[in-house]
């Protein structure tokens, strides 16, 4: 019975306004999604319960969130987008990951921050095969390299190259894969 309920729910998600929701992809309930017409999700991807997609269209840009094929995203995922956030194929994310491509502007000290506009700060790209650990935060304008790891509770403020491990706040690369020796090495 549970499989039937999931298939029915998945069917209604597919016909309910996403730009694309691929074959066998599921966003578990409950989840909150603003402006799902700006979301593309590939085939066979899974997003766990209590996820929040906060997508806002500005006068200058049509936002875009794209999640590739075969991704698995943990519970309480929070993505805030006014520009572009791309998650490649075969990406694994633990619970409580936060990703944003913007900030709340605070440049005018005479206006409360809540009344100031959202300010784009750079697109976010997570390349194929990467892993993002529990409670990680990916700040605007970063790229996570192919098959790279972001450690638990890390705050990524700068790009992480391909085949690297980054940890900490702010995150720093501590390992990379040495292709000549075919092993991971501390930096």
Nearest to 47 by CA among 81, 6, 2: 6
- Give catalytic status of residue 102 as yes or no: no
- β-partners of residue 155 are 137
Instruction: Sheet containing 46-47: give its strands across.
Output: 26-27, 46-47, 72-73, 92-93, 131-132, 149-150, 164-168, 171-178, 183-186
Beta strand 64-67 with 84-87 is parallel
pLDDT per 10-residue tile (average), the chain, 187 residues: 55 71 96 96 98 91 96 98 98 98 96 95 98 98 98 98 98 98 96
The pLDDT assigned to 59 comes to 77
The pLDDT assigned to 6 comes to 54
The pLDDT assigned to 121 comes to 96
The pLDDT assigned to 60 comes to 79
Alpha-carbon span 90 to 102, nearest angstrom: 25
The pLDDT assigned to 184 comes to 97
The pLDDT assigned to 178 comes to 97
Which one is catalytic: 32, 104, 105, 170?
Answer: 104
**Fold (topology level) of 2-186:** UDP N-Acetylglucosamine Acyltransferase; domain 1 (2.160.10)
On the 0-12 / 13-18 / 19+ scale of CB atoms within 10 A, 92 is: middle
pTM above 0.85, yes or no: yes
The pLDDT assigned to 136 comes to 98
Map residue 182 onto helix, strand or coil.
coil
Q: Where are the domains of the chain?
A: 2-186
């Amino acid at each position: 019975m549970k499989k039937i309920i999931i298939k029915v729910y998945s069917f209604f998600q597919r016909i309910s306004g996403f730009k694309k929701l691929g074959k066998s992809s599921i966003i578990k309930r409950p989840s909150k999604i603003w402006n799902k017409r700006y979301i593309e999700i590939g085939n066979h991807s899974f997003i766990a319960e209590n996820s929040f997609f906060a997508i806002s269209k500005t006068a200058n840009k049509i936002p875009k969130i794209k999640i590739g094929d075969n991704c698995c995203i943990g519970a309480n995922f929070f993505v805030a987008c006014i520009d572009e956030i791309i998650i490649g194929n075969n990406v694994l994310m633990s619970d409580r990951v936060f990703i944003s491509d913007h900030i709340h502007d605070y440049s005018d000290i005479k206006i409360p921050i809540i009344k100031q506009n959202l300010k784009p700060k750079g697109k976010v790209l997570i390349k194929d095969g990467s892993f993002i650990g529990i409670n990680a935060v990916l700040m605007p304008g970063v790229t996570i390299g192919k098959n790279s790891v972001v450690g638990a509770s890390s705050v990524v403020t700068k790009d992480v190259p391909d085949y690297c491990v980054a940890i900490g706040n702010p995150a720093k690369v501590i390992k990379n894969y040495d292709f000549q020796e075919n092993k991971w090495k501390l930096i």
